[in-house]
Amino acid sequence: MSSSSVSILISFRTASPKWHNLDRLFLDANILFSAAWNPESGLRRLWRMQRAGSIVLVTSGYSVEEARRNLETAGQLKVLDKLLRQVEICAAAAELAAAAEPFSFKATIRIPEKDRPILLAAIAAGASDLLTGDVTHFGPYFGKLIEGVMIIPPGDYKEHKRKKRKD
């Protein structure tokens, strides 16, 4: 990680009864990037929801570093650091993501090696949902549950949550 100070937390879905019934949204690098790059991004509502106590935002160091590499200005990096103060960066996710190569998914799941650490980190973090804008690699799995994690684009989260409440 960079010289910025970001808390590393080990967290699992059952770690705190307070958070037990909340959605744990794992943020892919492209979500972090977009929220930091564009101050008017609709993704910022996720951070408002986090502050309101209605969701928990989680990610991995892998996602953070990918977002950092793609941001262009010091100002954008500063915004990213500010946003990350409200996001759990799960150490357990980093450990599992590091083991991505030997991990094999079911034959029906075909995710490129570079994206496996994202999905594995979401699983390790106990995420309920993986929010990603990566239509190319995750698009075929939008709306599908993989190892307990629902893969969805960020624009579909509100509708997904509404449907979940009806069930």
Is residue 161 very low, low, confident or very high in pLDDT (cuts 50, 70, 90)? confident
Cα distance between residue 112 and residue 73, in whole Å: 29
pLDDT of residue 21: 78
Structure tokens at 82: 């500010």
Structure tokens at 44: 């910022």
CA atoms within 13 A on the CB side of 72: 3
Per-residue pLDDT of 99-118, as tens digits, reads 555 555 554 778 888 888 89
Of 133, 142, 103, the C-alpha closest to 121 is 103
Does the pLDDT at position 57 exceed 80? yes
Per-residue pLDDT of 61-109, as tens digits, reads 999 999 999 999 999 999 999 999 999 998 765 555 555 555 555 547 7
Does the pLDDT at position 11 exceed 90? no
Domain 25-166 has CATH 3.40.50.1010: yes
Per-residue pLDDT of 109-151, as tens digits, reads 788 888 888 998 998 889 999 999 999 999 999 999 998 999 9
pLDDT of residue 91: 72
Rg for the chain, CA atoms, rounded:
15
Task: Give the three-class secondary structure for 101.
Answer: coil
- Domain parsing of the chain, residue ranges: 25-166
pLDDT of residue 18: 45
